[in-house]
Amino acid sequence: MEIKGRLIEILEPKTGKSSRGDWKKQDFVIETDEQFPKKICISNWNDKADLSSIKPGDILTVKVNIESREYNGNWYTDVKVWQLESENKESVEGSDLPGLGEAESAPPWDPEPENPDEDLPF
C-alpha cells in the first residue's frame, strides 16, 4: 500500500533484544493531504528506510505493509515501512525485499543457428 503525506515528526528510536537478536524501531508521523487529513504513525523496523535524510515538512511517499494481530482478545495494527521516497529526492531507501531489484538483461535472441549443419530437421 502507498501513502503520501507531509512528515510531521520523527520519534525517538527504541531498541531491544528478542529471541531472534537485537532490534531497532523508529516511528515517524505523516499527515495525509485530504479533505479530512489523517495523521498516521508508521514504524521503521531495523532501518528498512534511512530517516536521517528527511526532515519535518518534507512531502513523502511511503510504501507500507499493514498487519493486525490478536493478543489477549485485543487487536493491534502495525503500519511498517518498506520503501520511502521524498518528493525532492528520488529514493531515500530502496526495498530490502528479495526479487524487487533490477533484473539482469538477457542476451539478445538470435534466430539463426551458429552452425547451420546442426539445425533441427523440423
| pLDDT digits 0-9 by tens, 76-116 | 999 999 999 998 665 444 444 444 444 455 555 555 555 55
Q: Which CATH number fits domain 2-91: 1.10.220.70, 3.50.50.60, 1.10.10.10, 2.40.50.140?
A: 2.40.50.140
Question: What pTM was computed for the model?
Answer: 0.69
* Residues contacting residue 59 through CB under 8 Å, at least 6 positions apart: 4, 5, 6, 7, 86, 87, 88
Supply angle C-alpha 77, 39, 79, rounded to 5: 25
Longest dimension (CA), the chain: 73
59-71 and 39-45: which strand pairing?
A: unpaired
Q: What is the pLDDT of residues 99-110, one digit of tens each?
A: 444 445 555 555
pLDDT at 28 exceeding the cut of 60:
yes
Which residue ranges make up each domain of the chain? 2-91
